[in-house]
Structure 1
Amino acid sequence: MNDAQPPLCIVCHHDLFTDEWDRYCCRPCQQRIDADLAALAGPVTWQGTGRERRLVSGLFAALPTELEPSSRSNGPRVSGSKSAPIPARMGPLSDSANGGLVNDLEEWVRDWEHRGYATRCRAVRPQYRMDQAVATLRFNLDTAVRQHEAINAFAEDIRTIRSTCEAMIIGARPPRDLSAVCPCGTRIVFHLDSQMRHCKGCGTDYGHKALIELALATRAA
């Protein structure tokens, strides 16, 4: 009789089925990662009605509509004002620009490329880069869940990016970024509800408590 304990999904920490033992995460978690990626790219698509209405794709494409402070106003926009223009809302602007959320996704594409199962795109416009990065990550996701020991960090990053976009679109406050510096010199960005982060410099995994302690040590230094 085989009393060996089944391995755990490193994302949800539930037992893997026997036919999932060649994977780091279970199929439901893989499906959630894929859904989070799919929600970021493409044209804006709504699903449902009333309070159940939500964006199911095009979250990144929807961010530019949030740039103007009056974008939530129900009244008409008035042109010809003699007053100075009000600056754009900086949150969506920075997150939809080249160095924002697109760059966060492309870091994972570069990581996967170094492992031999992804190829970076050469697009220039942020929306094209987002669409290409999402397409690349979705296409190679099945390989990554079997070969990438930090697929849980990837899952959390993608969930955070989706939540950040949704929060700005519906007017909620996005999660606050915190950071810590690993002893190897790599900066790790996380949030107060982050359960784990993987250092891309040395490969060390930090749990929630370790992240907080590392952030405090970084601040003290």
Structure 2
Amino acid sequence: MPVTDAADYQWPTCTACHRDLRTDELGRIACRICRDRAERDLNALPGPTGLYAQLSACMAPGASISDGRAPAGRTAPLPVRLAPLDLAARGGVVTVLQTWLVDWHDILGWTHPRWRGNLQQQLDQVVGALRNNLDWASSDHPAFAEFADELAQLVRACRRQTTGERPERRIAVTCPCGGILRVTVSTPGARCSGCDTQYDRIGVLELPLAERVTAA
């Protein structure tokens, strides 16, 4: 049996946030912090008061988050606001999550799930199934990081429509090699395209801000 040089050994890291796994997390794809974050995102979507249900109240032209109306524009509004409609319609939140659940069933060798009811009922159904299998996915699914990231993006998009939450501001930081990385405060990690260094969340946020280039 070949012996691995201790100098070449790299401690396993979470594929989602890239921090070192704790001793009791060894063998997992993702750390429990990222697993719990994904569960919180799933919990934010379903039910009559969840983010998905709230999208329907934001579709009227000029709808605002606080009282349902915003000042009318000078041009005729569209019949509905497209951003919340795209999230709520087929191809949006429900379809993305259903696609992930089908993927999980394929890996586990299970038959594909059958969707029942309207889109709200299907949303509740798929969230429940994903939540029930989250421990397995965060331990063994090779694409759990992609799932957690796409889920987080969906939740943020829903919140922007239902609560008026603004997108996170991106900042430019500089890698020691001179490469520029554009990140947000919640970026789980980033890889420098210049030197291929992988930074975890703490590491990338500790990089110095990139200097702004002023026009001559």
Q: In 2, distance between residues paired with 1:167 and 1:127?
A: 19
Corresponding position: 1:144 with 2:149: no
Match of 1:88 in 2: 80
Matching residue within 118, 132, 137 for 1:125: 118
TM-aligned CA deviation for residue 171 of structure 1: 3.1
Corresponding position: 1:167 with 2:160: yes
TM-aligned CA deviation for residue 71 of structure 1: 3.0
Corresponding position: 1:67 with 2:59: yes
Matching residue within 40, 46, 54 for 1:41: 46
Corresponding position: 1:12 with 2:12: no
Q: In 2, distance between residues paired with 1:85 and 1:17?
A: 53
Distance 1:68 1:15, change over 3 A: same
Counting only pairs closer than 5 Å after superposition, residues 209-220 of structure 1 correspond to structure 2 as none
Residue 124 of structure 1 aligns to a residue whose secondary structure is: coil
- Which structure 1 segments of 5+ residues have no match? 45-57, 77-83, 176-191, 197-206, 210-221
Whether the aligned pair in 2 keeps the contact of 1:6 and 1:17 (CA below 8 Å) is no
Counting only pairs closer than 5 Å after superposition, residues 16-27 of structure 1 correspond to structure 2 as 16-27=21-32
Whether the aligned pair in 2 keeps the contact of 1:41 and 1:61 (CA below 8 Å) is yes
Residue 112 of structure 1 aligns to a residue whose secondary structure is: helix
Whether the aligned pair in 2 keeps the contact of 1:168 and 1:174 (CA below 8 Å) is no
Q: In 2, distance between residues paired with 1:141 and 1:20?
A: 15
Q: In 2, distance between residues paired with 1:12 and 1:75?
A: 37
- Which structure 2 segments of 5+ residues have no match? 70-75, 169-181, 194-216
Whether the aligned pair in 1 keeps the contact of 2:28 and 2:140 (CA below 8 Å) is yes
Q: What's the CA shift string for 1:15-56, capped at 9, x where partnerless?
A: 111221121111111000100011011121xxxxxxxxxxxx
TM-aligned CA deviation for residue 64 of structure 1: 0.3
Matching residue within 113, 138, 161 for 2:105: 113
TM-aligned CA deviation for residue 70 of structure 1: 4.0
Work out the number of aligned pairs and report it. 164
Identity of aligned residues (%): 37
Q: CA RMSD in A?
A: 3.2
Q: In 1, distance between residues paired with 2:192 and 2:135?
A: 27
- Greater helix content: 1
Distance 1:75 1:140, change over 3 A: closer
Whether the aligned pair in 1 keeps the contact of 2:57 and 2:68 (CA below 8 Å) is no
Residue 19 of structure 2 aligns to a residue whose secondary structure is: coil
